[in-house]
């Protein structure tokens, strides 16, 4: 039994090492850049060992999307939950996202910005996984904004989907400009825009 458990533990460590690398590669080069051969070479593993962990390139891509989602949740979603429902939580969520991009949690900036552009016009399980991730994020932003409205900190007539769309657009534009030009000014512009939009929607106006 100890020997079997040891194998499982080693397999889990290897799988995590592979995923640590795949999210890095995909955030810069896209999911299509992933291959069993490349990962085996870079991580000094056997091709058969990597293949046995995932079974196919598609499953490797899907596992990479799931791992990126786990990291995103840890770095963006959970920190904002420390704030009580309200405008402060909305702002904390946006700040956490901007820091996630600015701090290059993934080398290419926002992992999902990269893979959405890669798979938006395709079909299949990977496309569907990317769509789910994007929809879940949008729904979470909308839910957070609705919480602020229900707490009386945003105007009762706030168009929640519209405000969510605008805040996400500011964040994603900051990510794109920063990655493209290797500078951070865009994050301050996004912060200014987000603060102004929330102030405009504030119940105090």
Q: What is the CATH number of the domain that holds 124?
A: 1.10.357.10
Residue-level pLDDT at 87 = 96
Considering only CA atoms, which of 30, 133, 124 is closest in space to residue 72? 133
Q: What is the DSSP string of 143-169?
A: HHHHHHHHTTSB-TT--HHHHHHHHHH
As a whole-number percent, the residues of the chain with pLDDT over 90 amount to: 90
Question: Do residues 95 and 191 lie in contact, with contact meaning Cβ atoms separated by under 8 Å?
Answer: yes
Residue 15 zone, left/alpha/beta (φ > 0; ψ -120 to 50; rest): alpha
Residue 122 belongs to a domain: yes
43 contacts: CB under 8 Å, gap ≥ 6? 17, 18, 21, 50
Residue 16 belongs to a domain: no
Residue 10 belongs to a domain: no
Residue 52 belongs to a domain: no
Q: For the residues 113-136, what does the mean pLDDT come to?
A: 96
pLDDT at 203 over 80: no
For 182, the domain range is 58-201
Reported as a single tens digit per residue, the pLDDT across 144-194 is 999 999 999 999 999 999 999 999 999 999 999 999 999 999 999 999 999
Residue-level pLDDT at 186 = 97
Residue-level pLDDT at 2 = 47
Residue 42 belongs to a domain: no
Residue-level pLDDT at 6 = 73
Residue 158 belongs to a domain: yes
Say how many domains are in the chain. 1
Residue-level pLDDT at 1 = 44
Residue 14 belongs to a domain: no
Reported as a single tens digit per residue, the pLDDT across 5-38 is 677 788 789 999 999 999 999 999 999 999 999 9
Residue 126 belongs to a domain: yes
């Amino acid at each position: 039994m100890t020997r079997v458990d040891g194998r499982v533990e080693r397999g889990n460590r290897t799988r995590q090492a592979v995923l640590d690398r795949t999210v890095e590669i995909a955030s810069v080069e896209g999911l299509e850049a992933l291959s069993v051969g490349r990962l085996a070479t870079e991580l000094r593993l056997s091709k058969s060992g990597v293949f046995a962990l995932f079974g196919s390139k598609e499953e490797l891509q899907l596992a990479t999307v799931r791992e990126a989602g786990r990291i995103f949740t840890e770095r963006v979603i959970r920190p904002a939950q420390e704030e009580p429902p309200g405008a402060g939580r909305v702002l904390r969520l946006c700040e956490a996202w901007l820091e996630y991009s600015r701090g290059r949690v993934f080398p290419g900036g926002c992992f999902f910005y990269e893979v959405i552009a890669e798979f938006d016009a395709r079909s299949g399980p990977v496309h569907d996984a990317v769509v789910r991730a994007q929809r879940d994020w949008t729904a979470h932003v909308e839910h957070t904004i609705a919480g602020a409205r229900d707490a009386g900190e945003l105007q009762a007539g706030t168009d929640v989907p519209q405000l969510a769309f605008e805040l996400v657009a500011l964040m994603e534009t900051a990510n794109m400009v920063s990655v493209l030009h290797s500078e951070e000014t865009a994050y301050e512009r996004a912060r200014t825009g987000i603060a102004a939009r929330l102030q405009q929607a504030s119940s105090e106006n």
